[in-house]
A and B are shown apart, each in its own frame.
Chain A
Amino acid sequence: MHKKVLMLIFLILLIFLSTSSTMAEQITLKFMGWEASPLETNSIKTGLNEFMTANPDIKVEYTPVPFDEFHSKLLTMMAGNSAPDVFFLASAFYRDFAARNVLVDLTDKVDSQIGIDNFIPSSQTKMLVNNKIYGVSSCTVSPVLFYNKNLFDKANLSYPPADPAKMWNWDKFVDVAKKLTIKSGKRTQQFGVFGFQNFWWTTVLSNGASVFTDDYSKITLQEPAAQEALQKIVDLRKKDGVAPAGNFLENSGMNTAQMLQTGKVAMVVDGSWALQELAKMDFPIGVAPLPKLKDTITTGQAHLHAIWKGSKHKEAAWKLVKFLSSSKYQTNLVKVGLWMPNRKAMYTPEGIKKWYNPKVHPANFKALTDYFLNAKLEPSVIAPQEAWDVLTTEELEKIWYANQPVKEVTESMQDRINNLLNQ
């Protein structure tokens, strides 16, 4: 009898001890991101479940926060010493956070476990801050030209070539856009093209000009080649009459995909991520490079995954970041058209096989892959956040919305932007 009781107490103790010990061992990681699309949130959750099954000692709590307030919220949380262990960082904010000394230096870990040379050039330059790495690139996204094939067929026009080497020059492009613009009386029922204004720097770079000097200490939009490129964008709307006003989309509550679908616009410049939604729609879409002035170029960027310096579980956090940047995790989102891979190996013929999805990617999409591989880094990534913000929302809006001449605006803004660049 006595023995039995002792046995029971011993057993209970054993159970108690074992459960409490596993409880002590399990680490809870806080992970914060924003919702780019419901689909992205879903695949993050699926990915996290996969990660937790592989690492039973780590539990990940994911909180999505609206993008507009994400970075200010993250910063206040850091100031309040309660930031998440792992988080997204928009590439435009990455350097601001790195400069504030709040991110874990991942240089050694990336070098030894992933290898920076395996990333495509634009992702490499994005990640490197004074030769150090504070965040791992999630993927790449680049502006491309989407078009509705039905509208081309109706006008009896041939599609834009997907091969960057064969893409039309600007004049040919404007010519086609004119043919795709349909008016009834004063009203334009179908516009030829929309979106260059939102990705204006691609046109500037395509004309052999630059937005800033190489060391980002001065703005260079006042140079004739840059002015010429900006003028071409203005002309699309004012002279050629093939493009609607800039906030066309926001004002209508429709997005690019819906504009193409409803035939309000025949061609659209948008980030490659739009393919995810376009692929689900019931009309044939095409993808092409942007038309060239001198060179066929695009730019790349995408958010990074970083670890907070104040995190108590840096090793576990690194495991998560490494998982999130693995090609395997990335491929799920590439297959649905939302992302493009950021590893060189994924652009070889064998690599492309791993993610190319005929249900999503149009037939000639493979001709376009080098375009993403060779993309330049988007200038917003390195320019300080405030300088870029003032440039795009205040100064350039004078050109887009207040009808001020390109020459006047680009020349008068120099001092202001240069000050902000060197602050």
Chain B
Amino acid sequence: MTKKLEKIIYNNYFWVAIFLLPNFLGFLIFILLPVLASFGLSFTKWDLLGEINFVGLANYQNLISDSTFWKVLWNTIYYTLGTVPLGIIISLMLAIILNKKIKGVKIFRAVYFLPVISSTVAVAMVWQWIYNPQFGLLNYILSLFNITGPSWLTSTTWAMPAVIITSIWKGLGFNMLLFLAGLQGIPNTYYEAAEIDGAGSWAKFSKITLPLLSPTMFFVIIMSIINSFQVFDQIYIMTGGGPARSTSVLVHYLYQNAFEYFRMGQASPIAYVLFFLVFIVTLVQLRNSKKWVVY
């Protein structure tokens, strides 16, 4: 064996590169290149087949003057404000309850986790039934209390809340699991010490549980916000963005532009708006996190 070859073989970086290569290639081909390409495409007019024409900032200008875009942007924010806080509060409560030593706790944990592993398509279909104004379960229950339920998915007022409820239900288990892990990482000794000092259950929760759970909380908040900005499948199936665009969100509008109207150039800027939105929100949270996250 030549010296040169030996040198390469015993070089750690060489092996690091070899083992990282498959992953990196996948990232390069399926993520990085398309991301860069779409940035380039956002300055062009292209229908996938014809010539690519450079149009400068026209696509961005169109977007700013496009009333549908602003509507869709607002819908995305509405959806995020609806799903994230409520989803986190409910899943935290669930986690605390299921952290207790109740009989059959494992079954409950599994039950709440079930929606997470169910396919979104199936979940959306079932909820379409639940929301049915004539024969649906939800309006039946409401009618027991003498309330005439709305026609959920076909009402411009109620379609978005309906989608939000479904999303919260579907995402509950995942956040709950993360909180459970966080809760179990808190040593019991803190609670014992607090009890000796005469702390009540609220004091224990706010002074011990919440601060020690803050890293988990931080992670859950960031991931939930990113996920809700990117929501697509349940909306695509349950309402198709309707009625009258009341549930259309950024990714849905992007999809329509690209694959229904075949306007790649007009779809790409939407992706970048989404990217910067997520980027800024995450950055602000990272900055803020120093104030409240305890490691």
Binding site for B on A (CB under 8 A): 69, 72, 75-76, 78-79, 96, 100-102, 186, 244-248, 250-253, 385-386, 389, 393-395, 397-398, 400-402
CB neighbours (8 Å) of A76 from chain B are 48, 259
- Report the interface size for chain B: residues with CB under 8 A from the other chain: 32
| A245 CA / B244 CA spacing, docked (Å) | 15
Q: Contact check: which of B49, B135, B153, B245 meets A394 at CB < 8 Å?
A: B245
Whether B132 lies near A252 (C-beta < 8 A) is: yes
| A299 CA / B244 CA spacing, docked (Å) | 25
Name B255's closest neighbour in chain A (CB-CB): A72
Whether B50 lies near A246 (C-beta < 8 A) is: no
Task: Say if the beta carbon of B262 comes within 8 Å of chain A.
Answer: yes
Interface residues of B in 238-269 (CB under 8 A from A): 240-246, 258-262
CB neighbours (8 Å) of B148 from chain A are 186
Whether A251 lies near B154 (C-beta < 8 A) is: yes
* Pairs of residues from A and B, 8 with the lowest C-beta to C-beta distance, nearest first: A72-B259, A401-B243, A397-B244, A402-B156, A247-B154, A251-B132, A79-B48, A397-B243
Name B132's closest neighbour in chain A (CB-CB): A251
What are 30 sample pairs from A and B whose C-beta atoms fall under 8 A apart?
A69-B259, A72-B259, A72-B262, A75-B259, A76-B48, A79-B48, A96-B262, A100-B50, A102-B49, A245-B133, A247-B153, A248-B134, A251-B129, A251-B132, A252-B132, A253-B125, A253-B128, A253-B129, A385-B261, A386-B261, A393-B240, A393-B241, A394-B242, A397-B242, A397-B244, A400-B154, A401-B243, A401-B244, A402-B156, A402-B243
Given A102-B49, A393-B240, A246-B260 contact (CB < 8 Å): no
| A100 CA / B136 CA spacing, docked (Å) | 45
| A158 CA / B181 CA spacing, docked (Å) | 69
| A96 CA / B131 CA spacing, docked (Å) | 36
| A250 CA / B135 CA spacing, docked (Å) | 12
Name A402's closest neighbour in chain B (CB-CB): B156
Given A102-B49, A385-B261, A251-B131 contact (CB < 8 Å): yes
Whether B128 lies near A251 (C-beta < 8 A) is: yes
Name B159's closest neighbour in chain A (CB-CB): A401
Main secondary structure on B side of the interface with A: loop
| A251 CA / B138 CA spacing, docked (Å) | 13
Given contact pairs A400-B154, A401-B154, A401-B155, enumerate 12 new A-B contacts (beta carbons under 8 Å).
Answer: A75-B48, A76-B259, A96-B262, A100-B47, A247-B153, A250-B128, A251-B132, A385-B261, A389-B260, A393-B241, A397-B245, A402-B156
How many inter-chain residue pairs (CB < 8 Å) link A and B? 86
Task: Say if the beta carbon of B151 comes within 8 Å of chain A.
Answer: yes
CB neighbours (8 Å) of B135 from chain A are 252
| A155 CA / B245 CA spacing, docked (Å) | 41
Whether A245 lies near B47 (C-beta < 8 A) is: no
Give chain A nearest CB distance to B248 CB in angstroms. 9
Given A250-B128, A251-B128, A394-B48 contact (CB < 8 Å): no
Interface residues of B in 20-60 (CB under 8 A from A): 47-50
Interface residues of B in 62-110 (CB under 8 A from A): 68
Give chain B nearest CB distance to A258 CB in angstroms. 12
Whether A398 lies near B132 (C-beta < 8 A) is: no
Whether A75 lies near B49 (C-beta < 8 A) is: yes
Whether A72 lies near B260 (C-beta < 8 A) is: yes
Given A393-B242, A398-B244, A401-B156, A79-B49 contact (CB < 8 Å): yes
CB neighbours (8 Å) of A251 from chain B are 128-129, 131-134, 136, 151, 153-154
- Interface-centre pick from B129, B132, B148, B258 (highest chain A CB count, 10 A): B132
CB neighbours (8 Å) of B47 from chain A are 100
CB neighbours (8 Å) of A393 from chain B are 240-242, 244-245
Main secondary structure on A side of the interface with B: helix
| A248 CA / B128 CA spacing, docked (Å) | 11
CB neighbours (8 Å) of B258 from chain A are 72
Name B243's closest neighbour in chain A (CB-CB): A401
Give chain B nearest CB distance to A238 CB in angstroms. 13
Name A247's closest neighbour in chain B (CB-CB): B154
Give chain A nearest CB distance to B252 CB in angstroms. 12
CB neighbours (8 Å) of B68 from chain A are 394
CB neighbours (8 Å) of B136 from chain A are 251
| A101 CA / B49 CA spacing, docked (Å) | 9
Give chain A nearest CB distance to B215 CB in angstroms. 41
| A102 CA / B47 CA spacing, docked (Å) | 12
Whether A244 lies near B134 (C-beta < 8 A) is: yes
| A401 CA / B151 CA spacing, docked (Å) | 9
Give chain B nearest CB distance to A272 CB in angstroms. 25
CB neighbours (8 Å) of B153 from chain A are 247, 251
Name A252's closest neighbour in chain B (CB-CB): B132
| A398 CA / B242 CA spacing, docked (Å) | 10
Given A76-B48, A385-B260, A385-B261, A245-B154 contact (CB < 8 Å): yes
Name A189's closest neighbour in chain B (CB-CB): B134
Give chain A nearest CB distance to B266 CB in angstroms. 11
CB neighbours (8 Å) of A395 from chain B are 244
| A186 CA / B139 CA spacing, docked (Å) | 14
Give chain A nearest CB distance to B80 CB in angstroms. 23
CB neighbours (8 Å) of B242 from chain A are 393-394, 397, 401
Interface residues of B in 192-235 (CB under 8 A from A): none
| A406 CA / B131 CA spacing, docked (Å) | 27
| A402 CA / B258 CA spacing, docked (Å) | 28
Give chain B nearest CB distance to A226 CB in angstroms. 19
Whether B154 lies near A246 (C-beta < 8 A) is: yes
| A276 CA / B27 CA spacing, docked (Å) | 49
Give chain B nearest CB distance to A405 CB in angstroms. 14
CB neighbours (8 Å) of A389 from chain B are 260-261
Give chain B nearest CB distance to A288 CB in angstroms. 26
Q: Contact check: which of B49, B134, B260, B262 meets A252 at CB < 8 Å?
A: B134
The interface bits of chain B over 111-154 (1 if a CB of A lies within 8 angstroms of the residue's CB, else 0) are 00000000000000100110111111000000000001001011
Give chain A nearest CB distance to B194 CB in angstroms. 52
CB neighbours (8 Å) of B261 from chain A are 385-386, 389
Given A75-B262, A251-B154, A402-B244 contact (CB < 8 Å): yes
CB neighbours (8 Å) of B48 from chain A are 75-76, 78-79
| A386 CA / B253 CA spacing, docked (Å) | 13
| A401 CA / B244 CA spacing, docked (Å) | 8
CB neighbours (8 Å) of A75 from chain B are 48-49, 259, 262
